[in-house]
Amino acid sequence: MMRRQWMVTVCAAVGLLALTAGSAQAQVVQVSRGADSRHAIGFTIGGFFPRGEDTRDPEDTILANLDDLAIRVKDFRNVTFGGEYVYGISEFLEAGVGIGYYSKAVNSVYANFVNTNGSEIAQELKLRIVPITATVRFLPIGRTAAVQPYVGGGLGIFNWRYSEIGDFVDFSDNSVYSNRSNPFVADGTSFGPVVLGGVRFPIGDAMTIGGELRYQWATGDTGGLDNGFLGNKIDLGGTTANFTIHFRF
């Protein structure tokens, strides 16, 4: 049910942007096709898909939680959005800087333990990532073609925060305790590579729409057991699938 709601949210958002793009196309002032619009401001919306269980860092705390909690890595999929500035270095090269935002809270319970009264032992796990990226793109058939595929890569700076709050089992004596007044929290800034690929379609001379896939690698340090977490790392890697719209000037 949660996956269906997530997919409906993404589709609705993409549909709204498509309608916005169509409206903008009807209103945009056309410029000469000979004009070299090197600058562009872009906006993106789509979904973030965290790395799967078989590819996550072996010390990842979400991976460690799978042994006890009734959660899946895919529960952390969610909508993401962002913006960027792109500069055309040449007909076949572009440089860009951008920022995005992703956040997801996952409600969980222990899979094999309950309270003495039979109620679930519940908690909330929450991950937030704000990626700031610097990228270079190669457009094999150029920035002025009717269809503009591209590939590229660069460096990401990932500001992140991960928290766990609720009721937990102390397996030393199987007692249940709450950390609601002092939740487990880790945050920081991590660095890692980003690769991307996409295609865009000009609408007149002042706007493009398209789709893009990005993949990022990065991990953060949680502090492990000393900070209340089962894993020493939080894996920030994954794929972002975006609908894109850019305005050239």
Q: Structural domain boundaries of the chain? A: 2-25+39-248
Q: Could you say which architecture CATH assigns to the domain 2-25+39-248?
A: Beta Barrel (2.40)
In this structure, of 4-8, 59-63, 244-248, the range with the lowest mean pLDDT score is 4-8
Contact call for residues 57 and 235 (beta carbons, < 8 A): yes
Tens-digit pLDDT profile for residues 40-68: 999 999 999 999 999 999 999 999 999 99
Region 29-35: what's the mean pLDDT? 40
pLDDT of residue 26: 41
Q: What tens digit of pLDDT does each residue of 161-210 get?
A: 999 999 999 998 999 999 999 999 999 999 999 999 999 999 998 999 99
Q: What is the pLDDT of residue 205?
A: 86
Q: Are 77 and 47 in contact (CB under 8 A)?
A: yes
